[in-house]
Amino acid sequence: MIHPDVVFEHVDINQARRFVDLSMLAQPNPHVLYVLHDKGKVLKAWDSRKGTVSVGSTLAPSVELAEELKRRHWVEEVQLIDRESYYEYLRRALDLKKARELNGYDFKDRAKDLKAAQGGGFLIHPPREKYDYYHYTDRTRGFVSQKLSPDCVFLLGAYTSEEWWVSVMTVFSGGQVVYLSTFEYFPAEKLASPASSQAHEGLMKAASSAFKKPARGMFLPREAFEDFAKNQWRGLGQTPLLSVENA
């Protein structure tokens, strides 16, 4: 979904900082029990909140065992890692030909998918939803494929009464992201009155005109965006998706 030569410019660093700070609060940080073993001989068990714990000296890895450990240790996730199986996973995931063939996100997704296909040797229970660089990738892909067209400009802006608090403009071409910026891309006069619907429409028309593509946009108050960022499973809720066809 991302072009190798994607251009990422006109980024307001203060907006980027706000987005990063918010995302770091929201990023998944499950309570995990890691068990490293060598063909069933336990080398170390590490609870991400309590430190070293005991799970016995041997184990026979299985989903049932992982579930039992999850309950017994009151954790959200269990990882049972046989060292050689972990290496086997890395051998499969780090395929240079695939790296050349796929875009970066598809390569990452492939590596993540493989984690769920390693049997008992490298077992993550329950499987994690894919998350990378501050977003859930499958949900983002779903939004793009269901709500946007392969060739369009998408604007997302969170505003206060005085300023654009966080914003992003994404240009899609042939289904790939080819350009990214914040609203700093636009001339200053277009950024006035950020809470007004006229301003939103003006930005979309300007974007559509500049990139010669239809524009889609979602604009919401800062508070609503913060609420979304902290509870991403809710999505952007009732925020309408605005449209401007080729301006």
Partner 1 sequence: MSRVSVQPQRGLNLSNGRVQPWISGTFHYWRSDPQLWPDILSNTKAMGFEMVETYIPWGVHEVERGRFEFGEKEPRKNLEKFIQLVHQADLKLVVRPGPHINAELTYFGYPPRIVYDPDIVAGEASGALSVHDAAPKAFGNLSYASTKLYRETALWFDALAPILKRNLHPEGPIVALQVDNETGYYFRPGAYLMDYSPDSIRWYRTFLERRYGTVQALNDTYGSGHSSFDEITPPRFFAGETLKDLPYYLDWSRYKEWQINESLRIIGGMWRERGVDGIPFFQNFYGPTDSPYNTNEAEQGAYGLDVVGLDDYQRKEVFRTTARKAAYLAGSSRLPLIPEFGSGCWSLPLWENTMTLEDQRFTTPLLFMFGLKAVNYYMLVERDRWMGSPLTSENKIRHAYFDFYRHWNAFLRKTGFHEWDLQSDLLILANYDTERLLKSLKAVESHPVHFLPEELGYAWSPSLFHYRLEEEHPRWSGNQWAYALKRHLPLRCSDTAASFEKLRGHKAAWVVTFEMMEKKAQENLRRFAEEGGTLILGPLAPSLDEHARAFSCFKELEKAPQARLGRGKAVWISQWNEATVENALQEAGIRPVMDSLPGDLLATRFTRGEKELFFFANPTGRSVEFKADRKLMPLYVGSDARQSGDSLLLHPWSVTAWEAPS
Residues in touch with partner 1 (CB under 8 A): 2-9, 11-14, 16-17, 19-20, 23-24, 34, 36, 43-44, 46, 48, 51-52, 81, 83, 86-91, 93-96, 98-100, 102-105, 107-108, 111, 115, 132-134, 180
**Structure tokens, 241:** 């998706």
Least Cβ distance, residue 246 to partner 1 (angstroms): 26
Least Cβ distance, residue 202 to partner 1 (angstroms): 22
Least Cβ distance, residue 96 to partner 1 (angstroms): 5
Residues 68, 78: Cα–Cα separation, whole Å: 10
Least Cβ distance, residue 222 to partner 1 (angstroms): 18
Q: Which is nearer to partner 1, 163 or 201 (CB)?
A: 163
Half-sphere exposure of 20 (CA within 13 A, CB side): 6
Torsion angle defined by CA atoms of residues 44, 49, 51 and 55, in that order, rounded to the nearest 10 degrees: -40
Q: Which is nearer to partner 1, 54 or 198 (CB)?
A: 54
Contact (Cβ atoms closer than 8 angstroms) between residue 42 and residue 35:
yes
Residues 95, 99: Cα–Cα separation, whole Å: 6
Q: Which is nearer to partner 1, 98 or 205 (CB)?
A: 98
Least Cβ distance, residue 209 to partner 1 (angstroms): 19
Half-sphere exposure of 154 (CA within 13 A, CB side): 20
Q: Which is nearer to partner 1, 4 or 238 (CB)?
A: 4
Q: Which is nearer to partner 1, 135 or 247 (CB)?
A: 135
Least Cβ distance, residue 79 to partner 1 (angstroms): 8
DSSP 8-state class, residue 134? T
Q: Which is nearer to partner 1, 104 or 120 (CB)?
A: 104
Residues 73, 196: Cα–Cα separation, whole Å: 52
Instruction: Extract long-range pairs of 47-54: CB within 8 Å, 24+ residues apart.
Output: 47/73, 47/75, 48/75
Contact (Cβ atoms closer than 8 angstroms) between residue 176 and residue 208:
no
